[in-house]
Structure 1
Amino acid sequence: MRGISAKSLDEVLAAVSAAGTGSGDLGVELFDIVATLDREPALRRVLTDPSTEAEAKAGLAEQVFGGKVSADAVTVLRVAVSGRWASGRDLTDGLETAGVTALVAAADSAGQLDDVETELFEVGRFVRSDGELRQVISDRGVPSAPKSELLSGLLGGKVSATTLALASQAATARTGSFERVLTAFGVVAAERRSRLLAEVRVATELGEDEKTRLGAALAKKYGRDVHLNVVVDPSIVGGISVAVGDEVVDGTMSTRLEVARRRLAG
């Protein structure tokens, strides 16, 4: 976000921070508010109307949502609707970001942030590996509730409640595809500790010492801590491939063999 929306988002995130990091309930409630505002565009337009006094919009928001969500959620919402947004969509996008931030903060407070980062990556791989599942989750014509129920049935008990809530929200595909949004949520989690995300592909599982050395080398290269998401892929034969953002360093044996084959073929 830019301009007035970026300033308003900063104020909303400050309100989330002020609410504390006790549990992820605030994040889920903010997602529920987003869903309501997405379903009710007329209400969203009123709450972002620049000609309406901020206090009047805050009062309306409290009237609509008060008693349905916690006091903390109402406080964050009051701050959001009191701000100025370039569009009604920016308001709901900002509230979604606030929900992600609240969930990530709660996971960090509970010492579960590392697990959440890894789980988000694995959930993305899991959905991509099943063509039928990927099609259903990616279909914007399928309502969010059935998608959430499907993910709960498949992932419940296998990932944390935080990861499941984030995956379910990503499945709404409000700002892009499921995979793109899930990746963006992973970035928010990494940035909680000012870290980067690295996808590491190897032929066999790395030992803890190897992970530690690789993490230290990448941290030295990028000047920031790096969270490793390791993918074991026997097809690469040997070596290692590391992707950090758009930068990929491919030192796998399969790639080297393919390059050699192409050279020999002329």
Structure 2
Amino acid sequence: MSELSTLARPYAEAAFKRAKEVGAAGIWSDSLAFLSVAIQDKELAAIIDNPRVSKDQLTQLMVDICEGQIHDEAVNFLKILIENDRLKLLPQIAELYEQYKADDEGYVNVEVYSAYSLTKEEEKKYVAMLEKLLNKKVHATVTVDKSLVGGIRAKAGDKVIDGSISGQLQQLAKRL
């Protein structure tokens, strides 16, 4: 995964830099998200992996699929990725792009895993706590994970805050 991120980083940086230049961060975000989802389709992935499909054929297919879904500069970006055999990096490029966008706009995307469904009040409480801890505005996505037994685990980029019972049990096992 880190190798893919290393390869994807220059493309994500270039896309973000261009998006900032033209004031189209949201448009680029939508385009990269669409492309990322599109190439993960099983049938399209098989075509991408097929050595008999030329770059020109793949480019035409992708342009046809994306027509009306992505903006013109993203089409050019797509062509560059195909030409450089980097099309499979799109999910990592989109993820890195979103991190750059979040950093630039002063927020952080946090995945919150809870052992049970959170009420709106509990969610607000946890978001406020995370904002104070991370010193940034938090955009949280809450997911129920019964394996936590109790408590929550929050993941912001590569930082993990584990307040779950299962996490505490693992720490206790390591110490013993």
TM-score normalized by the length of structure 1: 0.39
Question: Is contact 1:202-1:233 (8 Å) kept?
Answer: yes
Structure 2 gaps, min length 5: 1-9
Aligned position for 1:234? 146
Q: CA deviation at 1:248?
A: 0.8
Which residue, out of 4, 16, 19, partners 1:97?
Answer: 16
Which residue, out of 207, 216, 220, partners 2:132?
Answer: 220
Structure 1 residues 192-201 or 134-143, which shifts more? 134-143
Letter in 2 for 1:263: A
SS at match of 1:238: coil
Cα 1:131–1:192, aligned 2, differ >3 Å: closer, same or farther? same
Structure 1 gaps, min length 5: 1-89, 108-112
Distance between the aligned counterparts of 1:248 and 1:237, measured in 2? 17
Distance between the aligned counterparts of 2:97 and 2:160, measured in 1? 21
Q: What are the Cα deviations for residues 93-134 of structure 1, in whole angstroms up to 9, with x where unaligned?
A: 765334444432569xxxxx9xx7xxx5xx97x89xx89479
Equivalenced residue count is 150
Question: Is contact 2:15-2:97 (8 Å) kept?
Answer: no
Question: Is contact 1:205-1:232 (8 Å) kept?
Answer: yes
Aligned position for 1:263? 173
Taking the TM superposition and a 5 Å limit, the aligned residue runs for 1:2-17 are none
Question: Is contact 2:108-2:139 (8 Å) kept?
Answer: yes
Question: Is contact 1:138-1:177 (8 Å) kept?
Answer: no
Letter in 2 for 1:238: G
Q: CA deviation at 1:256?
A: 3.9
Aligned position for 1:189? 101
Distance between the aligned counterparts of 1:212 and 1:147, measured in 2? 41
Cα 1:204–1:230, aligned 2, differ >3 Å: closer, same or farther? same
Cα 1:98–1:247, aligned 2, differ >3 Å: closer, same or farther? closer
Distance between the aligned counterparts of 1:245 and 1:224, measured in 2? 13
Cα 1:235–1:189, aligned 2, differ >3 Å: closer, same or farther? same
RMSD, aligned CA: 5.0
Distance between the aligned counterparts of 1:137 and 1:148, measured in 2? 14
Distance between the aligned counterparts of 1:139 and 1:187, measured in 2? 28
Cα 1:203–1:138, aligned 2, differ >3 Å: closer, same or farther? farther
Cα 1:140–1:242, aligned 2, differ >3 Å: closer, same or farther? farther
Aligned position for 2:90? 178
Q: CA deviation at 1:241?
A: 0.8
> Moved runs in structure 1, 4+ residues, more than 6 A?
none
Aligned position for 2:119? 207
Q: Among all aligned residue pairs of Structure 1 and Structure 2, give the percentage whose two residues are the same amino acid.
A: 21
Using CA pairs under 8 Å that are at least 6 residues apart, name the structure with larger relative contact order, 1 or 2: 2
Q: CA deviation at 1:242?
A: 0.8
Cα 1:214–1:179, aligned 2, differ >3 Å: closer, same or farther? same
Cα 1:95–1:243, aligned 2, differ >3 Å: closer, same or farther? closer
Question: Is contact 1:190-1:227 (8 Å) kept?
Answer: no
Distance between the aligned counterparts of 1:253 and 1:231, measured in 2? 16
Q: Which has the larger radius of gyration?
A: 1
SS at match of 1:177: helix
SS at match of 1:185: helix
Distance between the aligned counterparts of 1:136 and 1:235, measured in 2? 34
Letter in 2 for 1:96: A
Aligned position for 2:6? none
